[in-house]
Structure 1
Amino acid sequence: MKILLIAGGWSSEREVSLTGARGMQEALLKRGHAVTFFDLLENFDELLETARQHDFALINLHGSPGEDGLVQAMLEKADCPYQGSGPSGSFLALNKAAAKQIFRMAGLPTADWEFLPVRPAEGWEPRLPWPLFVKTTTGGSSLRLGRATNRQELDALMDEIFAAGEGVLIEPQLPGKEITCGILGEEAMPPILIKPVAGDYFDYESKYASGGARELC
């Protein structure tokens, strides 16, 4: 099969995307596929034409574009099949403030939240109990994420996110175990228990540093 492996892009998660895609490329080549490694940052203007020349697009993008549905919509215009959700599902899932509303409507439990698309007015106070987790509305990989136990820490975390031109999502800390679960088609895979080693929550270093976390199947 002639596969277009789409990676890189221009989000803050670019390096994570490229690293993962190199491993995917090696695995695909070992299985006899022809692979075109396509860095979206360098080749975006050629995406439609290149996609038309391939049997399948394998998307390994982190953040926007890629997880926001843009690439999926373009691949559909090129009649090139790809893995994962379509444009609408991708767009809604990447935006945490939108996704949490959908989860609630579907009866899925999710932590209370406060969404700040712009810097709040002077005198604003969070309405949620401390400590608070502060994160970007659309970012991933636990980049620009932190825990605030007081107003000074909260302001510092929000300043970093607003300076990057992103919105802020605030949630209260929920004590418990960290668990993840993959889904293949309609089947849920066995759950995996995550135990961070360096810190006490699953931050960027825990996710990607060697030995940063134990993942127990």
Structure 2
Amino acid sequence: MKILAPTTPLDPARYGRVALILGGLSAERPISLKSGAAVLAALQRLGIDVTALDPAGHPGSALFEALNPQRFERAFLILHGRGGEDGQIQGALETLGLPYTGSGVLGSAIGMDKYRTKQIWIGAGLPTADFRLILDETALEQAIALGFPLMIKPAHEGSSLGMARANDPDELIAAWREAARLDAVVLAERWLTGAEYTCGILGEQALPLIRLETPNLFYDFEAKYQANSTSYHCPCGLPESLEAEYQALCLQAFRVVGGSGWGRVDFMLDEAGTPRLLEVNTIPGMTDHSLVPMAAQAAGIDFDSLCARILETSILETRLLETVSHG
């Protein structure tokens, strides 16, 4: 069933002064700046009183001063990667008492950590790709035991940064060393050969699934943000009942790691056709190549309305906190 955009007029005064936090210092800074520019333009078109703020220009305590609640009523977070999706900025905003969009401190921290996300999924009985943790070279033998080919990925990076396929022990060592330049914690994951899907989450609803196809070895950084050869299929081509089943799985996967507000869950099918969860994104991209806006459009939600709904999560989370506080 399609999710339709609200028909009631938007009241910009409802949100007050909004800090749009973008950029940052992570490896995903260029994507965050591009996402932020798109969101800024949308909020301005909606008449929102919004100011862009880049933590990179406000080191240390200067960020707290810039985000003074006397200047802003809430924050729209569009920081990707470390410092933005790992709970750090969320913790700062909690300290300031400033409502913000998306997942809280715990959900953000877990969602950014692919290793702990997988541990929680396994504990909850949810299917994920088999993997091994590589902390140093001595753990490479355990990775080899999974069987080649393998997907090597840093545990705390997004946008497919540092990811590579390893077809033999020599390639495994090279891929691990490259990934370890970005992150001390690296995962070796069993290579999956089935179709790849992504599920956008908006509030309590799963958006239509998107099936991804790329001529590249996998859906890497180039395929995500630069290539025109990547194909996005929405409708995804699955029977309606099976798509609904996978949407429910992704909603559960998102919630069990503490995700809230909005986000995205990626999964692939294995050779037997079983879905295998890959990772959670708690602040997905909002560029012209991004998947959540694409899925929202298929659900009848244009980009401006999507930004308004994401901004609304800051109000909903505030109400939830008030309810808990006052019983």
| Structure 1 counterpart of 2:181 | 163
| Structure 1 counterpart of 2:197 | 179
Gaps of 5+ in 1: none
Find out whether 1:60 has 2:60 as its counterpart. no
| Structure 2 counterpart of 1:21 | 36
Q: Distance in 2 between matches of 1:192 and 1:123?
A: 34
Find out whether 1:205 has 2:222 as its counterpart. yes
Find out whether 1:32 has 2:47 as its counterpart. yes
| Structure 2 counterpart of 1:192 | 210
Amino acid at match of 2:207: M
Tell me, what secondary structure is at the counterpart of 2:222?
A: helix
Tell me, what secondary structure is at the counterpart of 2:82?
A: coil
Give the superposition deviation at 1:18: 0.7
Tell me, what secondary structure is at the counterpart of 1:121?
A: helix
Point out which structure has higher relative CO (alpha carbons under 8 A, 6+ apart).
2
Gaps of 5+ in 2: 1-15, 235-327
CA contact (8 A) 1:114 1:170 kept: yes
Post-superposition Cα deviations, 1:30-51, rounded to whole Å, max 9, x if no partner, equal 1111221111112143222332
Q: Distance in 2 between matches of 1:121 and 1:177?
A: 33
Compared with structure 1, are the counterparts of its residues 122 and 31 closer, same or farther at alpha carbon in structure 2 (3 Å cutoff)?
closer
Among all aligned residue pairs of Structure 1 and Structure 2, give the percentage whose two residues are the same amino acid: 38
- Once the two structures are overlaid, the 10-residue window that deviates more, 84-93 or 40-49, is 40-49
Q: So what's the TM-score if we normalise by structure 1?
A: 0.93
Post-superposition Cα deviations, 1:108-152, rounded to whole Å, max 9, x if no partner, equal 1001111113x2239845221110000001000001001111112
| Structure 2 counterpart of 1:115 | 133
Q: Distance in 2 between matches of 1:164 and 1:186?
A: 34
CA contact (8 A) 1:49 1:78 kept: no
Tell me, what secondary structure is at the counterpart of 2:72?
A: coil
Give the superposition deviation at 1:154: 1.1
Taking the TM superposition and a 5 Å limit, the aligned residue runs for 1:49-128 are 49-51=65-67, 52=69, 53-117=71-135, 119-121=136-138, 124=141, 126-128=144-146
CA contact (8 A) 2:153 2:163 kept: yes
| Structure 1 counterpart of 2:245 | none
Amino acid at match of 2:206: A
Compared with structure 1, are the counterparts of its residues 202 and 122 closer, same or farther at alpha carbon in structure 2 (3 Å cutoff)?
closer
- Once the two structures are overlaid, the 10-residue window that deviates more, 48-57 or 9-18, is 48-57
Bigger helix fraction: 2
Tell me, what secondary structure is at the counterpart of 1:36?
A: strand
Amino acid at match of 2:188: I
Find out whether 1:150 has 2:168 as its counterpart. yes
Compared with structure 1, are the counterparts of its residues 123 and 115 closer, same or farther at alpha carbon in structure 2 (3 Å cutoff)?
closer
